Amino acid sequence: MAPFFMLDEFSRYLGTQKRFSEHTCLAYRKDLEQFLEFTGIAGNEDIQEVNSRVVRGWMVYLVEGSYASTSVNRKLSALRTYFKWLMKEGLVETNPVARVNGPKVSKRLPSFAQKKELIPEKIDPLFTDDFEGLRDRLIFEVLYQTGIRSSELVNLEDKNVQSDRIKVLGKRNKERIIPISGPLAEIIGNYRILRKEILGAGKEFFLLNNGKKLYPKFVYRKINIYLGKATELEKKSPHVLRHTFATHMLNNGAGLEVLKELLGHANLSATQVYTHNSFSQLTHIYSQSHPRGGHKL
């Protein structure tokens, strides 16, 4: 069977055994289709001829095609995983991507909003008093107050949203529990009452005006609008609210291990990126508080 047509089996492997999300499986498949088209691979004999030189040629092609370093590295990751799987299936003897290093990625600090930009007095007037306004306000508050991902918010089920906590199904189907505040619980209760009155009961927690399930682009557009009204940020997306949640938590004394669990990170290194922003806050506090910190009297 030609490897090109084995992408269906590979995608099933990613979803069932690696427990990758549907979004990641689709992205990997598109990356592999691009590579196979670039190399002209048609069958098992061709796949045996792929070596590190061919892979590096594809990488150069991508870089010269103005692909971002992060995109190139993701494509290489997809290819690396694919060849590991082919080795497991006995179709190739070596992994030609094993010794190929992707382009360096410059580390950019996550964008986040300032606390003064998200105070209730400034945020609340942005939303209308009808069902749509209440839902949008709750979407905004859940993203900011819990730090969950947009995909996790879209897939929230009604049974997993309680008066003091939210159960989230994260990456690779890993569950985590996130506590919520009293004010947020009050908004949730008001939303539930109005949703039931207008749309009735349902499996999904967040619903569109027509009763259907939310989708990621809808959430992105909404957050883009409201962040545009409340902040001066250039980047305005649901993930910015996740970054904001993490930064504000650290700036107010939360530990990295606690934040790691709340964000659903697999390892601590993913959480440590936020310490750069927190260090800036600590520097500011030091300069204002220490007798020789450099503040002006």
Determine whether 149 is an active site residue: yes
Measured from the Cβ of residue 12, the count of other Cβ atoms closer than 10 Å reads 11
- The active-site residue out of 74, 167, 213, 239 is 239
Dist. CA 295–CA 287, nearest whole Å: 5
239 is catalytic: yes
Closest by CA position to 176, among listed 243, 262, 241, 246 = 262
Residue that has been written with the tokens 């922003």 in this structure:
277
The closest of 228, 221, 271 to 246, measured between CA atoms, is 271
- Catalytic entry in 82, 144, 226, 274: 274
Which residues make Cβ contacts (< 8 Å) with residue 279, sequence separation at least 6? none
242 is catalytic: yes
Instruction: Give helix 52-64 / helix 69-88 axis angle, nearest 10°.
Output: 150
Given the residues 29, 80, 165, 171, the one annotated as active site: 171
The residues, any chain, with a CB within 8 Å of residue 48's CB and separated by 6 or more, are: 92, 93
Instruction: Given the residues 75, 135, 149, 260, select the one marked as catalytic.
Output: 149
Backbone angles phi, psi at 252, to 5 degrees: -105, 20
Which member of 242, 243, 248, 260 is catalytic? 242
Give the whole-angstrom CA distance, residue 152 versus residue 21.
11
Which are the catalytic amino acids?
149, 171, 239, 242, 265, 274
